[in-house]
Structure 1
Amino acid sequence: MTHEVPQGNESPRRVLEEILANKRKEIALRYPEKPSSFIEMFRDADWPVVIAEIKPKSPSAGKLIDENPVNLVQKFQQGGAGAISVLTDKKYFGGSPELFLQIREATKLPMLWKDFVISADQLVDAQQRGADAVLLIVTALRRQNVDLKAMINFSKALGLTPVVEVHDNRERAEALMAGANIIGVNSRNLDTLQENPFLALEVLSQIPSGRIALLFSSIKSREDVEKARQAGAKGVLVGTSILKAPDPVEKLRELTSS
């Protein structure tokens, strides 16, 4: 490759900058950004989308699933769930990456990889198993000194939609500063496992309308979904109340009925 020698007062050519600018154009044409199915389902929702959760057990509720999880997913679909969340933590929630893949092969609904993600390796694992979205918990990342914005950006680079979980207004502000587009407010304090639905609704109401707000935990009835909607939620994540219901299909129909 030959480079032109600048003459007189002519500025030196920034050859590398030209190459990189052209390369960005090539990439944009060859790999156009695809709309995320996980984001799009919330855009025009008049009633909060229900994300139904596969959670074999939990520290607060004990064992939650007796039947084949694949059968449960079929019931979730019948009941009108808009997406599926799967816990992949083994010790405390009884899940696994293998369980996620099993569910992935059984449904075409958008899926959320739900775990205590503190490493980029976990994001790669989620992407390889077909996740549409991945949960990033503000307090978990902060305690491990992991940069939230970097994890958001890496998730996007992998084609994953980052869902950033917060509990209070301080964490909400952190999520917004880091550029989170989807913010899930967990009414449960992860240290004490206590729920504070009043705080959650207040935090929800402070999320700008340009972002997608979700409510996690504390959803037990249609009335709870309505409260979330009034606070600005475009979606709700529901696990325990569906899993404990005598008829998960009917419970979901109750929650999804506007």
Structure 2
Amino acid sequence: MTAGFIEALLNADRPVIMELKRQDATGRDLFGGRSVEDIVAGYEDAGAPCLSVVTGRWFGGTRALLHEVAQATELPVLQKDFLTRRSQLWQAREDGASAVLLTAALLPRTTLGNLIEHSVRLGLTPFVEVTTEVETLRVPRGEDCVIAVNNKDITTRERGTGNVGRSSELLPTLRRTGTPCPVSASGIGRPDVAARLIREGFAGVLVGTGLLRTHSLSDWLDDFDRERRERRELP
């Protein structure tokens, strides 16, 4: 297992968590005949600080996919699934995860706290996903967590374009938790949108479908870099 998910993202030249998922929310294939090894190699060449692997069945994921990705890289790896039990955290670590998704909307306060505590004990970074101010403010140990705004709605299985404005609205609340690593996740298709979120103060963005569907990963990321650079240089 590779540690240091938060450190990798905070120190990244390109703070983009690059995601592998087999299909989108409507069931359309995203790998396009590419192997896991090819996608991982492409992300590594593009300077990914860490990877995300969707193991949830909505997106055609499996634990085997996580294991395969972890075997193909030394980068920190996030498992994205609906994890609700301690045994799943052990499994995640065994499969090679460095970080685990905990969805605040699905977990009672006590359960969320226990899973965060147990993740930290196992050496896993809790990657806590929120959608509201109330959810955000009940996340304990924010200083040990990535806290990520999900711009989509899990009650509709994340279909639709999402609402990136949710991230902008919740960023001040995320900062109040003490997290060193606020992240905006899902629904980020364009590089200019990703760059704007970084300029607003997010430590990273998580992008999956947008990167897997682009005709040129290098062009997408070059545009992302240019948008960040040009905006910084404006008088």
Report the TM-score, using the length of structure 2 for normalisation: 0.85
Counterpart in 2 of 1:164?
Answer: 128
Q: Which runs of 5+ in 2 are unaligned?
A: 229-235
SS in 2 for 1:40: helix
Deviations 1:84-141 (A, max 9, x none): 100112x311111111111111111111011110111110100111211111010122
Counterpart in 2 of 1:179?
Answer: 141
Q: Which runs of 5+ in 1 are unaligned?
A: 1-34
SS in 2 for 1:147: helix
Is residue 2:200 matched to residue 1:231? yes
Is residue 2:51 matched to residue 1:84? yes
Q: In the TM superposition, what is the alpha-carbon distance from 1:42 to its structure 2 partner?
A: 3.4
Q: Bigger shift: 94-103 or 205-214?
A: 205-214
The RMSD of aligned alpha carbons is: 2.1
Conserved? CA contact 1:135–1:165, under 8 Å? yes
Conserved? CA contact 1:205–1:231, under 8 Å? no
Structure having the higher helix fraction is 2
Conserved? CA contact 1:187–1:218, under 8 Å? yes
Which residue identity is paired with 2:132?
D
Conserved? CA contact 1:76–1:249, under 8 Å? no
Once residues 205 and 220 of structure 1 are traced to their aligned partners in structure 2, the CA distance between those partners, rounded to angstroms, is: 23
Equivalent pairs counted in the alignment come to 218
2:18 to 19, 29, 52: 52
Counterpart in 2 of 1:13?
Answer: none
Percent of matched pairs sharing the same residue: 31
Report the TM-score, using the length of structure 1 for normalisation: 0.78
SS in 2 for 1:63: coil
Higher Cα radius of gyration: 1
Q: Bigger shift: 191-200 or 126-135?
A: 191-200
Once residues 146 and 53 of structure 1 are traced to their aligned partners in structure 2, the CA distance between those partners, rounded to angstroms, is: 29
Q: Pick closer, same or farther for the CA change 1:148–1:88 going to 2, 3 Å.
A: same
Q: In the TM superposition, what is the alpha-carbon distance from 1:60 to its structure 2 partner?
A: 4.0
Conserved? CA contact 1:52–1:76, under 8 Å? yes
Once residues 208 and 92 of structure 1 are traced to their aligned partners in structure 2, the CA distance between those partners, rounded to angstroms, is: 31
Q: How does 1:1-258 map to 2 (within 5 A)?
A: 36-44=3-11, 49-60=15-26, 62-66=28-32, 67-89=34-56, 91-142=57-108, 147-175=111-139, 178-180=140-142, 181-192=145-156, 193=158, 194=160, 195-208=162-175, 210-211=178-179, 212-256=181-225, 258=228
